Structure 1
Amino acid sequence: MKDIYELFNDISIDADEFEKMEVSEFEKAKLKKVLKKSINRKNKTNSLLKTVAAATIVVGLSVTTFGITFPAYAKNIPVIDDIFRFFDQEELSLNNSSKENLSGSIGTQEKETGIFYDYKKFSSEINMMQESNGIKFTIIDAIFDGKTATLTYTIESEQELGNASISSPKIEGMNAMGGTSNTTKIDKNKYVGILTASNLENKKLDVANIEWNIDSIQNPDNQTVIKGDWKFSFSLNAIDSQNQLSDSSSQKNGVKVNIENISVTPMSFIMYYNQEVSEEVRNTWDRVFVDLEIKDDLGNIYSGQGNGGIGEEGGYNASWSKTFEKLDEKATKLIITPHVSLSDYNSENFSSVQITNSGVKEIPLPEKTGKGKKEFVLEDLVINFNE
């Protein structure tokens, strides 16, 4: 499949067809961003993320790029006030250039829509702003499906924030939560971001009472921390969704995957699943990660984005959730292919420290027989709808 840049070469362009028009700083930033990344894309090699050992797991960081369009493809340009689609276009462009990104998404985007394509339509406008230590933090939109809340925000700061790292919100009644966030700079002193907070317990809420108390913003690029006090409190009614419980499971080579629940909304569907790992695998490999590839009986392949998870160190026994694109209303079956990745810890992908009274102490790498990386695929699971 051609990427967007190859498609440009097939377009016959008449310079007289173009009209000069004013563009915002937001649009300029997106154009600068894609030009810079497109230049570096060919020379970029994936690198493993440093993993910090912890009792709970929160994953889902992804490296993304942004796709641009010419007038012939103007219908694909996200509206300026739609931060959901801003990140959708980033994910869509990356999926078109690679079958696998660092967040573990599998498959190539085949449709003109994306994971967050319709989120703005069904979201609630929040527009709450708090300012502290010279930084303005504004929640723009939010949406809740009964188990997962997705929020967009903007940050204005004269201090460099990089891909700003912030704490996750708390939702009343949710005790086991996973989440992801992505912040990107769009212009001088201006950032936009998207965040998910997902309930990993087997219960659904009609209303999300959200408390988001941010006391610091971290720049992971230079490890600086900016203290502040940004506090938000609001409620979201759950949008209409259909939940289908499942007891489907598949196992191989000491790894078992269980599909627990599927939540279908007007704009997406979310898959909740868990993994179980045998003692033999635990004693051999440092880390186990399971991702899902999903297609339907009509041939559609669905792009997805992980919402994080919670479980044991190393991800041995863990619960996850992942959001996928809008489900084709004509589909009657989902075919789920679990992909398993076993890996070791080494100096390139693992660092663990312990905070003591005398300072920071580094914990040595564990010694296990499994080296490098081993990948395999479990037998397909089939979920039937409309029965």
Structure 2
Amino acid sequence: MKDIYELLNDINIDENEFKEMEVSELEKAKVKNTLKRSINKKRKMKSWKKNVAVASILVSLSATTFGLTFPAYAKNIPVIEDIFRFIDNGRTESSIDSNDVKDEEKGLYYNYKKFSNEINITKESNGVKITVNDAVFDGKTVSITYSIESEQDLGENAFIDSPDIEGVGAIGGSGKTTKIDKNNYVGILTLSNLEETKLDIANIKWDIDSIQNTDNQTKIQGDWNFDFSLNAVDSTMQISDSSSEQNGVKLNIEKISVTPMSFIVYYDQIVSENISNKWDGVDVELEIKDDLGNVYSGEGNGGKGTDSYNMSLSKTFEKLDENATKLIVSPHITLRDYNSDNYSSVKVSKDGDEREITLPEKSGKGKEEFVLEDIVIELKK
């Protein structure tokens, strides 16, 4: 039986009658990886089922475009050169001229590849290859990109343990893994030093002993160990000590650190006793723009404090416009109660026994939102 490509070649089509269909970079990346794998196996395909599996990746392009736009589309499929940008917004090429990309499309990690270190260390265990691709340290946060190749499906969002920063006891962070093809993934991890000590070098120790398929809660056990060091990129620090307060919530901007690819805002969240007695939780979200009209996207690095109300935190934002002279910080406050839809109770396990502890009920119901007065920070040049 002919494979799908031979069948397409047998169709007589006037290409002038059709238009190519716009697809996202994520779809392109997925198709490229599938094509690469399927072409290598082309001569081995004997059964109808295998041919259907190869063709199924194109279903999302619609029945109309299936045999029409594919020839022109296939030859232009890009490679994922920059995982930082891919995680941000699906872009796969690191060579795209920044002048051709709108500011709102760039994202937090748009400039990270340029200032990162190529690690390119691969470890294989139990049918799974994990590669640490690139990493960068801005003096506060380590950002690491990685890729996974597996002999079996790991679900839509494979979960792996986070690394450690040697000598740092308090670490915050986040992670994201994206499936780009059957059994192939790319991801990014961030680790933030929550302690006051400043590091010039981050020594990373990443010992992974399992990968979890979060779809079915199964695990693949293995041994993937990585050790590497990162020098902090050049940065400048500016002390701020500016604050805004309203309705029992105060936000104080301590300092700002500016690096070649980002800037970090360090701030304190201070909540009055009246608010903490009434509400279960207080969320502070910083929105930042500059005097040129640029609006900056960012990601929280976590924090620490005496309780969940009074915290010292930081948030990393995308590259600062070098022509900006002011930052305008708008603190958005949300007061919440924990109800049956979220944090009504917690399970505690001890000696194999589980029990539920119901959280104390407070008078605040639903949520209350307000915005503190803007904090304007003059940038030092």
User: Shorter-chain TM-score: which interval?
Assistant: 0.7 to 0.9
Check the 8 A contact 2:267/2:312 in 1, yes or no.
yes
| Partner SS state of residue 129, structure 1 | strand
Check the 8 A contact 1:200/1:272 in 2, yes or no.
no
Q: Say which of 108, 115, 121 aligns to 1:128.
A: 121
| Partner SS state of residue 246, structure 1 | strand
Q: Distance in 1 between matches of 2:321 and 2:28?
A: 36
Q: Distance in 2 between matches of 1:353 and 1:154?
A: 34
| Partner SS state of residue 158, structure 2 | coil
Q: Distance in 1 between matches of 2:359 and 2:250?
A: 26
Q: Distance in 2 between matches of 1:366 and 1:218?
A: 34
Check the 8 A contact 2:263/2:319 in 1, yes or no.
yes
| Partner SS state of residue 240, structure 1 | coil
Equivalent residue number for residue 385 of structure 1: 379
Shift of 1:123: 0.6
Equivalent residue number for residue 80 of structure 1: 80
Distance 1:255-1:347 versus aligned 2 partners, 3 A rule? same
Check the 8 A contact 1:303/1:325 in 2, yes or no.
yes
Check the 8 A contact 1:142/1:150 in 2, yes or no.
yes
Q: Distance in 2 between matches of 1:90 and 1:138?
A: 20
Q: Which amino acid aligns with 1:87?
A: I
Q: Please state if 1:28 is matched with 2:31.
A: yes
Q: Please state if 1:257 is matched with 2:251.
A: yes
Q: Please state if 1:148 is matched with 2:141.
A: yes
Q: Distance in 1 between matches of 2:181 and 2:306?
A: 39
Q: Distance in 2 between matches of 1:250 and 1:223?
A: 44
Shift of 1:339: 0.8
Q: Which amino acid aligns with 1:267?
A: M
- Of the two structures, which has the highest relative contact order with CA contacts closer than 8 Å and spacing of 6 or more? 1
Equivalent residue number for residue 268 of structure 1: 262
Check the 8 A contact 1:214/1:228 in 2, yes or no.
yes
Distance 1:219-1:17 versus aligned 2 partners, 3 A rule? closer
Q: Please state if 1:376 is matched with 2:370.
A: yes
Shift of 1:187: 0.6
Q: Please state if 1:236 is matched with 2:230.
A: yes
Q: Which amino acid aligns with 2:329?
A: I
Equivalent residue number for residue 339 of structure 1: 332
After TM superposition, list the pairs within 5 Å mapping 1:1-387 onto structure 2: 26-28=29-31, 80-90=80-90, 110-157=103-150, 158-311=152-305, 315-350=308-343, 352-386=346-380
Equivalent residue number for residue 13 of structure 2: none
Distance 1:226-1:280 versus aligned 2 partners, 3 A rule? farther
Equivalent residue number for residue 51 of structure 1: none
Shift of 1:24: 10
Distance 1:306-1:30 versus aligned 2 partners, 3 A rule? farther
Flag structure 1 segments of 5+ consecutive residues without an equivalent. 1-13, 37-70, 72-76, 92-108
Higher strand share: 2
Shift of 1:302: 0.8
Q: Distance in 1 between matches of 2:257 and 2:357?
A: 40
- CA displacement, residues 129-186 of structure 1 (integer Å, 9 cap, x when unaligned): 2223332221110000111110001112214243223322111232322101011111
- CA displacement, residues 14-54 of structure 1 (integer Å, 9 cap, x when unaligned): 87997xxxx99734279999x97xxxxxxxxxxxxxxxxxx
| Equivalent residue pairs, number | 315
Check the 8 A contact 2:291/2:325 in 1, yes or no.
yes
Q: Distance in 2 between matches of 1:363 and 1:352?
A: 6
Distance 1:374-1:225 versus aligned 2 partners, 3 A rule? farther
Equivalent residue number for residue 46 of structure 2: none
Shift of 1:282: 1.2
Check the 8 A contact 2:154/2:212 in 1, yes or no.
no
Q: Percent identity?
A: 61
Check the 8 A contact 1:140/1:152 in 2, yes or no.
yes
Equivalent residue number for residue 8 of structure 2: none
Q: Distance in 1 between matches of 2:186 and 2:364?
A: 40
- CA displacement, residues 36-89 of structure 1 (integer Å, 9 cap, x when unaligned): 7xxxxxxxxxxxxxxxxxxxxxxxxxxxxxxxxxx9xxxxx9862210010111
Shift of 1:278: 1.5
Equivalent residue number for residue 41 of structure 2: none
Q: Distance in 1 between matches of 2:338 and 2:254?
A: 29
Check the 8 A contact 2:331/2:373 in 1, yes or no.
yes
Equivalent residue number for residue 59 of structure 1: none
After TM superposition, the score normalised by the length of structure 2 is: 0.74
| Partner SS state of residue 146, structure 1 | coil
| Partner SS state of residue 165, structure 1 | strand
Check the 8 A contact 2:236/2:257 in 1, yes or no.
yes
Check the 8 A contact 1:148/1:197 in 2, yes or no.
yes
Shift of 1:235: 0.3
